[in-house]
Amino acid sequence: MFRNFISKKYSVYIIGIVYSILFFYGYIVFLEPNYGYAGFAIIPERMDMPWLGFFTYILVLVPLFFYSGINFISSFISIFIYYILYIPILFTLFLNMPFSVPDVVRVEILFCISMSLLFCADKIKFSTYLILPSRINVYKLVYILTILCTVYMLFVYRNSLRLVSFADVYDLRSSNDELGGNFFTAYLSSWLSNAFIPLTFVYGLFASKRLYVWVATFACLVIYMATAGKSVILFPLFMYGLYQILKRVNLNGSFFAIGAALIGIMLFTLLIDLNVFIGAVFWMRTLGNGGLLANYYYQFFSENPTTYYSHINFVNAITHSYPYGDVPLGRVIGLEYWGETNSNASFWATDGIAAMGEIGILFSSVILFFIFIFFNRVSKGYNKVFLILVLVPFINSLLNMSLFTSMLTGGGFVIFLVLMFSSSVNNKYINENFNNSWR
């Protein structure tokens, strides 16, 4: 009976509304009381505008009309954009956007159109693969690159490697910051963390190559000891657990399952008297941050020059038009509203609002739409679980950084380049199968 329920389209609308109600409630009872000073405020007059609240809930449902299940990888990525960015942005604008009501309605509609467009990328079908010829085993090459990059990190940080507790990670980052500051080391470290390690680790799981898994795990340890990346040290355990779960479930119920999991955590953190720090990690950093930063990016760039994509290094190298000197975009916003904070934000905030103002919300979504189409064609025929697992770092990057940063340093470009090689497409361990392949 339950499986029959989640297979129905109306279950998607129900879980979307329930999630939205809980986020709205959590904003009022947790985010505003505990972190109002950080920007999670409420404009009192908005609480007396039930029609605007009702309109916001309608916009919650509209993109779901265009959701048609998990046909390609773009739908899975879009589910996370919907839950982690779209809904928090809508309700943050409703509660805390210090502009006129018509302005709020207009910007909410722009986000609604954008979210709907991203779900539509899944509807475009392909009859052919996008393949690059290759004679070498590309996963053996990635495995070797993982080893070489790890050795390089050991050499660069040879006198500064420390295994510290999570309480001391910021001290380690500060002390080692200059060592990883050069262009080559920064990119190599990012590709190792976000592309080479996921590909090596996950392929090792699917191909039952334990050495691949252990090499990737050791590389995670080295990166943690060098750069204090908390997510990296937890990566092997998280990925192995996720692998064991995903290979046993029907991924066509992903929208409901992800929403239900988030709702469960919401209820647990709201009903149980937890340490405020634990609540902050989930409510402020995971759920609230996307809406908060989109709101403040909109405020700032409504009064200051937009970048017209000169915040992207290679664009600025050609145009020399970045309006904020040597200060990166995230620090510009951080310095304006929170002092020294580096406020990196999602693609909608950076490649949308910061680049072109409110029309940039649509424009950045169109760019991502075409990237999704490319992703879908490249990934046609691959095992679903394999794709989802190797793209976890990229998805996390996309939710928190510029689209172009996510592609270059977040692993997107490297991963999909690897997936295009014929030795990957025809690899029997990760090829399509009856349970976990795209249609």
Do residues 330 and 324 touch, judged by C-beta distance below 8 A? no
Mean pLDDT for the chain? 88
**Is there a domain that residue 152 lies in?**
yes
Q: Which of 195, 135, 143, 144 is nearest to 422 (CA)?
A: 135
Beta-carbon contacts of 287 under 8 Å, excluding residues fewer than 6 positions away, are 23, 26, 84, 88, 262, 266
**Predicted confidence band of residue 433 (pLDDT cuts 50, 70, 90):** low
Question: pLDDT over 90 for what percent of the chain?
Answer: 57
Do residues 310 and 321 touch, judged by C-beta distance below 8 A? yes
Range of weakest confidence among 192-196, 362-366, 428-432:
428-432
Do residues 433 and 248 touch, judged by C-beta distance below 8 A? no
Q: How far, in Å, CA of 142 to CA of 147, rounded?
A: 9
**Is there a domain that residue 313 lies in?**
no
**Is there a domain that residue 238 lies in?**
yes
Q: Is the pLDDT of residue 434 over 50?
A: no
Range of weakest confidence among 56-65, 336-345, 357-366:
336-345
**Is there a domain that residue 43 lies in?**
no
- Helix/strand number for the chain, H first, E second: 26, 0
**Predicted confidence band of residue 25 (pLDDT cuts 50, 70, 90):** very high
Tens-digit pLDDT profile for residues 352-393: 999 999 999 999 999 999 999 999 999 888 998 999 999 999
**Predicted confidence band of residue 435 (pLDDT cuts 50, 70, 90):** very low
Domains in the chain, number: 1
**Residue 169 lies in domain:** 139-249
**Is there a domain that residue 232 lies in?**
yes
**Is there a domain that residue 305 lies in?**
no
Beta-carbon contacts of 212 under 8 Å, excluding residues fewer than 6 positions away, are 139, 143, 200, 201, 203, 204
pTM of the shown model = 0.91
Q: Is 4 helix (H, G, I), strand (E, B) or coil?
A: helix
**Is there a domain that residue 334 lies in?**
no
**Is there a domain that residue 93 lies in?**
no
